[in-house]
Structure 1
Amino acid sequence: MLKIAKNDSNICEITNGIISIIFYKQGSKKGTYSISFKQQTASLNKYSLKNCFFRINYYSKETQKLEELDSKGYSFYCNVQKVDDEIGKGFLLILSPFELNQMNVQFKITFRLYDKKQFILVKITNLRDNSKSPLRIHSISPLTIEDSEIYLSNNNRATKLDKISWFKNGWQSWSACQTLFGKEMDNKGPSNDLLFLLLDNQDYMIEGRFYSEYYSIITDLESQKSLILGFTTLKDQFSRIVLDYENFSTVKLLTAFGCMDGVTLKKNSIDCSEELFIGFKNRGEGYYGLEEYADIVSIRNGIDCQKKVPSGWCSWYYYYTDISQEETVKNLEYLKNHRDVLPIEFFQLDDGYFTEIGDYNSFNSKFSKGLKWLFKKIKDSEFKTGLWTAPFIGVRKSQLFKKHKEWFLRDNQTNKLLKVLWNWGSFEYAIDISRKDVLNYLRELFKEKMYVFQREIAKNTFPSLDFAKIDFLYAVCAINSDYSDKSLTRAQIYYNAVKIIRDAISENTFLLGCGAPLGPCVGLVDAMRIGQDTGPTWIDNKVIDDFSDKCLKTGMINVLYRSFMHKKFWINDPDCLMIRRNNTELNVDEIKLQMTIFGLSGGLLLFSEDMTKLSEKEINNLKLMIPPYNPKNHNAIPVDILDKKIPHIYTLETREDFGKRYLVCIINWEDVSKKLIFKPSNSLPNIPEMEQAFYIFDYWEKSFLGEFKREESVIFNNVNPHSCKYLCVIPINAELKNRPLVISSDLHISQGCYEINNYEYKKSKKRITMNLLLPGKRKGFIYLKLPKNTSLLDYNGKSEPIQLNGNIWKVPVEFKDTASIVIKIKRKEK
């Protein structure tokens, strides 16, 4: 219940009955605030942050070291207003310093607190530099704590910092996410210069024990309570969360800030911090806090992720740069002729068609007929077209570099051309996207790209490009770049360039970002790669600075960590699916694990194969993945992500016509066989108390495991390395046990959740009806569990159902696109 609990000359306190904010306007704590969270139970436990304040970091004119302007020590007056917006009804608390005209930098502070929400939104606004000589701003922090405690433990005790976990998010698509624990120490990015620029790219002038980009979760491992911090606006400042402590009782520093990169407020349009989400979650619900945070990001950035999740073919992970016109057409013809088997939408040409990196409108000899001819052939085959570019980089041999060397970024210390990457056998250099002529070039390049770089475009010609992948975007954000326009932050410069591309290709073209700093792309791209490059091998043995590239394992781990972004920030791209058993080091277990994780994630589905070399079994594996399954209001959850080094339980909750169920992947990441244990009470997120018993089906083994109680363990012995158990877990009660239930289906990776529609059981007629909806030709089985003392009487299919142990019936189905199923059951005679 929203209430102004107190508002006198010293403090202002507002509350919604769950979260309370106290701001100290006067007195010894003036300019600071505290936040407390109370569980919605009879418990008296409160979880809180105390002695919080706002900070602006700027460079000293004399030493270039950081100096601070803090809110603490200043007196404030407040104004409380009611708000009613997209998030809900609430209070807007506005704090203004009395000493406004005496401050080097003036500002106001705002808090937003909403009814029934477990978070607040904090922002510094109305920023203005009053100093005689403009201050170079390093960063702006809506939340800083020094020499204090955080309270996430039971019994209102300060959290023991050696008993916490820290959720670390990486800066760009390929930057690793990980869970760190209280006694560990994070590093300050890779020591290799090119890898540092690639993956991290921060200045570390604000030092800590742990670092995370854009958002983080701090979890007390004893109480399992979590604090969620994350910036909801992301386009003007790259944002970071930093935690530091030396002993395990006192927080030396906790700060969330947006990077201003040394620009001045007098020359920049920025007049506020990015908005910070501060949330609390009860026992074991920390990852749900990120889901809630993502909802606010979606609202704040006007994101509508209602586009259908695409599926398609990509040239890269089979052909790499060896792709040719002939091989492209060969695969196109195969997919055209097998559309009923693999009903995909997109056909994407990746790297390998142009002369040099940077010269995407100049085609090499392998594509002698050019892209106009090729893309017409793709369109005539009724596929949507896709094309890869890396628009921000070029090599010395490129015409882009030769004609416009002045466009390329230089190091702000040495004035030498800035090497941003070593790939394709040479160094790559990045264009200066702060220049207006470079932005104009990008605009025209992508307008031309829409017509696959035709030199003359006939009147009323429709665009040829439906899917644009832009890669290696990080290259223009190097922290040591000497930009022509020094009035903008790196985030602003980057955002402006990606927006130029977005506007040039129009909203109707699907835009996929890759190798991209994540924050400023929110609201611009339709899909985003959220992990490192995959590859036809389990792990890359050439690890440099903990960076392992072009392998399946590391790519999949980030898919789990960033699942909450899907359909909220954008459509997640887990990278290409590789199904082949030849020309690969991956074994069948690793391929099935990949299929399971990708299937549960619901993300973009592109497969990369020589289609003519796949076996019937491999083709059938691909069919299981098409189309991607995305239930309403649910993303897959990495259940144990906050207390394990690598999460090994990945669960998707669904509520379809045939009832609620959990699709659960239990993973053995290790290099040896091991025992895996599934216990519903520990392995199912947010499990309601009423769910006390479950039916469990093993998808890959096609086996009904039986009925299990909430606290009962299902033990899987000797599970192979790099493999998983993929379960359908169905809550049951006495009523459901007396009804026929769909247990699973092997037609799709979703175990029936995608394909089974309009399921109905009419008890009076003892009749089950359902519609099956899957594009293309399908053949497989639906698994039914019939009540005790009943059996299957009649079925309208072509083949007879097969009875298995436990009164499970294996119902054969074969159809194209759709089928209507009618099944009658009968009571067994005694």
Structure 2
Amino acid sequence: MTALSRPPSAVKSGITLQPHHAICTTHHAIMPLTLTSPHLHFTLNPQAATWSLHGTQLNAPFIEDAWMQVNYQTPISALLRSGRRKHISLQTWPKAQINHSVTFSPHGELQQITLESGPDANRLFYKIEFALPQEHPLFLWRLTIENRGQSPVQMDRITLMQAGFFPKRKLLPEPGPLSAKYRRKPIGYGAIRPHPDPGKLAFFTNGWQSWSFTGTLGTDEWPVGTSLGFMAAPMWFNQGTPRLRKRGRFASDMFGVLGDRLHRSGILAGFLSQKQHFGSLEVTTDPIYPALALWANGDQARLEPGAQISTDWAALQFVNLDDPEPLAPYLDAVARENRVQPSIPSHQPSVGWCSWYQFYQDISAEKMRANLQSAASLKNELHLNLFQIDDGFQAQIGDWFNFSSGFPQGVAPLSSAIRETGLNPGLWLAPFIVHSKSKLRRTQRKWLLRNRFGVPVNAGFVWNNFNKALDLTHPEALAYTQEVVRTAVHEWGYSFLKLDFLFAAALPGRHRDRSQTRAQALRRGLEALREAAGPEVHLLGCGVPLGSGIGIFDSMRIGADVDGTWLPTWKGLRGLFKEEYAMPSARNALQNTLTRAPLHRRWWLNDPDCLLVRPESNLTLAEVQTLASAIALTGGSLLLSDDLPALPDNRLRLASQLLPLIGKRGRLLDWFEAATPHLLRLDLENATGAWYLVALFNWADQVMDISVPLEKLGLSAVDTFAREFWRGSLSRVTDGLLTLKNIPAHGVGVVALRPATPGKAAYLGSDLHISQGLEVIQWLESPENLRLRLERPGKAQGVIDLYLPRPPSRVVIQHKNIDFEPLGEGIYRIPVDFERVAEIEII
């Protein structure tokens, strides 16, 4: 039983009102208190120690009689006084003092109620702040705990909210014809409803760190876990978030969305930051009695006498699941709370090359220089701006100042060589994790994070080794990580750092500073790395708990590692790992590339991991095209990771078709309908007019025909031109149903949709760029002719397709007549072959 159980009875408490802020009003102590915004209505019931939240619109979601609770431990000596160490508090609010005020914050004006309660049996005092922003459809609250006792306490679990009942099978059987008497809502546990009427519930779960599964799961589905136990669980899962094994019961990290697929509404619950604690959620999606719990993990951090700690702000948002940007209010509030640089939305994602997926650790300065020469020759054609050296240059993980035999002069000379080509030099580091065979582990044992028995904690099985972690509350260990980063930037000359395996600093253990939570230790470490690097260095986070990195990293890996196989494989074994969604594979990389697309340009620039285009991998051409399409249409960075000198021209062309990057994130139309979305829509516009780029993914293991009503794409069912990019097929949708035939297994159709306008020419698309339109920079139509200008980096060769209201007499490109191909119904295909710019006139 992971969720808390609240006794059905509620104890009344005496309450007084005391002004606290300059702008303050007083209420009768016995009456409920309220806050109202244009979006939400909040009610506080001090007598029952509960609160409720309702929307201001008809049939909005609601939460009734939610309650809070604090679990903590006192020293062993407390056994002699009270006979117990574990305590539960805040179920009632004794001696409460309440004030109602108006405050101001990064989220604008807040209508706020502050409740102060205490002491409890161990002289802990509590302050709860409830706030409604007037400018945003959010509800915010947080808890501050102060220890005015004589002894330290250890914080276990700080429950900010529980609404609904988490049943035990022995007490409350699954609903059915023979258990009708159990269908009545349990009394005293509150209620949560994404819609007033029962519906079809599901939950969007957010994984702990970069590689952890993120997606929407329904009542009949199982939670995503792992069978790899201690080999992988420390890396992929937050220790404070339950790993559940029951259908329809799910957990999440930082935030999640409980929604109703039938009524198209939901409730987002989460935290605005993870600076103080890692936040966890648990839900049950039972349509009769759904429940949600939200808590901060105390990690048994010590709260000394006279000290206090505040949780991060918790947040609730009522969600319209069909809104074009359903999570935007929450995601934008997180960005404000973490002071994300205002320039992040305008930054350009990286386009470059990475050594890892071709060479892995088998790299050398010679191999790097060979690929650097190829990258320099392709720089203009592929818009490359980054050349990143990955794992393998160092003697061992942790021994960053000692180099492998392939780098006898270190990596400083390579950074100079990279800069000379006009590319930015990038370097991989993993400063928080330590290989068991490293010199660092042997010589600096006191720096290692240890468990309560004094044994170094397990940081997971990587590099055929069970690794260890640094304790970043140890000043010397923290200083060492800073020196590693400072040296890489200021002595070796690298302006781009990929910092990997950062979860290691957040593993459970007994820190040297026992007052620090895991979240505080990690955040402190990340801030130290940013300070060492300086503000101008581009930091890419990887393998890091997402909430901890907001406001620190310029880019963030948001999914599992890609690989040259569709499904996870280890030492030639595949079937055993099909359900391991955090292991490297193309399928797993795609999962979060799609489901975490909304984070792009809000919290950072998304890094979907590398694109592998070489024909020698175990990926089919269709699977490579799916990877390419997802990367291109979600807006993140694009790094190639093949041996560039060995790439054939047709695979280089595939990469060039994605460049320059579109840079915009598409909209996932079915983000709440399936674990892995199938439909993505990206709206584009330029001189040719507006059009819609739609991706239809086939996740099946066989060839499929896919039909989608235009209305499901959010488009009007009007006469529409449709051009599919990868196969170049053309069709005209006149019945409101878009159909793509024979999409390969694990393949994708990328379709440009343009409404047909009678008597007017239309650009239908090309094979020059995946956008099927952004290559056009000028479009001038007159009764006499049509003039258009195409622009591409380097040399371009392919075809463009046009609809022309009357047959052309000739087509002129760069002052030369060109043959063209009529395809019927006024559609014409024109071959193009040009360097950088093509001037086209159709007469």
What is the TM-score when the length of structure 2 is the normalising length? 0.85
Picking from 641, 660, 676, the partner of 1:646 is: 676
In structure 2, give the amino acid aligned to 1:670. Answer: A
Picking from 43, 49, 60, the partner of 1:22 is: 43
Distance 1:573 1:809, change over 3 A: same
TM-superposed deviation, 1:205: 7.5
Partner of 1:529: 557
Partner of 2:477: 438
Distance 1:428 1:799, change over 3 A: farther
Q: How far apart in 2 are the matches of 1:188 and 1:612?
A: 40
Q: Retained in 2: the 8 A contact 1:38–1:47?
A: no
TM-superposed deviation, 1:87: 4.3
Distance 1:814 1:500, change over 3 A: farther
What SS is found at the alignment partner of 1:263? strand
Partner of 2:457: 418
1:275-674, aligned counterparts within 5 Å? 275-285=313-323, 288-304=325-341, 305=344, 306-412=346-452, 414-451=453-490, 453=492, 464-479=493-508, 481-540=509-568, 541=574, 543=576, 546-548=579-581, 549-582=583-616, 584-631=617-664, 635-674=665-704
Distance 1:397 1:187, change over 3 A: closer
In structure 1, give the amino acid aligned to 2:54. Answer: S
Partner of 2:193: 151
Q: How far apart in 2 are the matches of 1:681 and 1:133?
A: 64
Distance 1:483 1:379, change over 3 A: same
| Deviations 1:369-392, CA, capped at 9 Å, x for gaps | 332222222222222111111111
Partner of 2:205: 168
TM-superposed deviation, 1:126: 4.5
Distance 1:624 1:64, change over 3 A: farther
Distance 1:100 1:750, change over 3 A: farther
In structure 2, give the amino acid aligned to 1:756. Answer: V
Comparing 607-616 with 402-411, greater Cα deviation is found at 402-411
What SS is found at the alignment partner of 2:403? coil
Ranges in structure 2 where 5+ consecutive residues have no aligned partner: 1-23, 165-188, 569-573
Picking from 59, 66, 70, the partner of 1:52 is: 66
What SS is found at the alignment partner of 1:96? strand
Picking from 728, 732, 745, the partner of 1:721 is: 745
Q: Retained in 1: the 8 A contact 2:94–2:117?
A: no
Q: Retained in 2: the 8 A contact 1:596–1:726?
A: yes
- Give the superposed CA RMSD: 3.0
TM-superposed deviation, 1:307: 2.2
Partner of 2:726: 700
TM-superposed deviation, 1:295: 1.4
Picking from 729, 744, 748, the partner of 2:769 is: 748
1:197 aligns with 2:234: yes
| Deviations 1:308-348, CA, capped at 9 Å, x for gaps | 21111111101111122221111111222333433311111
| Deviations 1:407-436, CA, capped at 9 Å, x for gaps | 112222x32222313232333211111111
Q: Retained in 1: the 8 A contact 2:102–2:110?
A: yes
Identity of aligned residues (%): 25
1:242 aligns with 2:282: yes
TM-superposed deviation, 1:811: 4.2
Distance 1:767 1:446, change over 3 A: same
Q: How far apart in 2 are the matches of 1:403 and 1:238?
A: 32
TM-superposed deviation, 1:676: 1.3
Distance 1:802 1:628, change over 3 A: same
TM-superposed deviation, 1:740: 2.6
TM-superposed deviation, 1:212: 0.3
Picking from 696, 711, 715, the partner of 1:681 is: 711
What SS is found at the alignment partner of 2:301? coil
Q: How far apart in 2 are the matches of 1:8 and 1:808?
A: 75
Q: How far apart in 2 are the matches of 1:72 and 1:45?
A: 32
Ranges in structure 1 where 5+ consecutive residues have no aligned partner: 454-463, 826-830
In structure 2, give the amino acid aligned to 1:683. Answer: L
What SS is found at the alignment partner of 1:360? strand
Q: Retained in 1: the 8 A contact 2:203–2:250?
A: yes
Q: Retained in 2: the 8 A contact 1:527–1:570?
A: yes
In structure 1, give the amino acid aligned to 2:602. Answer: K
Q: How far apart in 2 are the matches of 1:139 and 1:124?
A: 14
Q: How far apart in 2 are the matches of 1:73 and 1:244?
A: 31
Distance 1:742 1:20, change over 3 A: farther
Q: How far apart in 2 are the matches of 1:791 and 1:109?
A: 73
Distance 1:803 1:51, change over 3 A: same
| Deviations 1:144-192, CA, capped at 9 Å, x for gaps | 2243332333xx33x35xx311111111111112322224453776561
What SS is found at the alignment partner of 1:367? coil
TM-superposed deviation, 1:617: 0.5
In structure 2, give the amino acid aligned to 1:591. Answer: V
Aligned residues: 774
What SS is found at the alignment partner of 1:339? helix
Distance 1:72 1:36, change over 3 A: farther
Q: Retained in 1: the 8 A contact 2:776–2:788?
A: no
What SS is found at the alignment partner of 1:264? strand
Comparing 591-600 with 324-333, greater Cα deviation is found at 324-333
1:69 aligns with 2:86: no
Partner of 2:169: none
TM-superposed deviation, 1:719: 2.5
Q: How far apart in 2 are the matches of 1:141 and 1:503?
A: 33
TM-superposed deviation, 1:365: 1.6
What is the TM-score when the length of structure 1 is the normalising length? 0.86
Q: How far apart in 2 are the matches of 1:539 and 1:545?
A: 6
TM-superposed deviation, 1:806: 3.0
What SS is found at the alignment partner of 1:335? helix
| Deviations 1:621-672, CA, capped at 9 Å, x for gaps | 11112232123xxx22322121223221122233444333222111111112
Q: How far apart in 2 are the matches of 1:467 and 1:523?
A: 17
TM-superposed deviation, 1:199: 0.8
In structure 1, give the amino acid aligned to 2:827. Answer: I
In structure 1, give the amino acid aligned to 2:190. Answer: S
Distance 1:12 1:608, change over 3 A: same
Distance 1:656 1:37, change over 3 A: farther
Comparing 491-500 with 699-708, greater Cα deviation is found at 699-708
What SS is found at the alignment partner of 2:749? strand
Q: Retained in 2: the 8 A contact 1:177–1:561?
A: yes
In structure 1, give the amino acid aligned to 2:598. Answer: F
Comparing 561-570 with 15-24, greater Cα deviation is found at 15-24
TM-superposed deviation, 1:677: 1.5
Q: Retained in 1: the 8 A contact 2:351–2:385?
A: yes
| Deviations 1:59-96, CA, capped at 9 Å, x for gaps | 3655554624236677563313264x6545x4421222
What SS is found at the alignment partner of 1:420? coil
Q: How far apart in 2 are the matches of 1:103 and 1:430?
A: 35
Distance 1:671 1:65, change over 3 A: farther
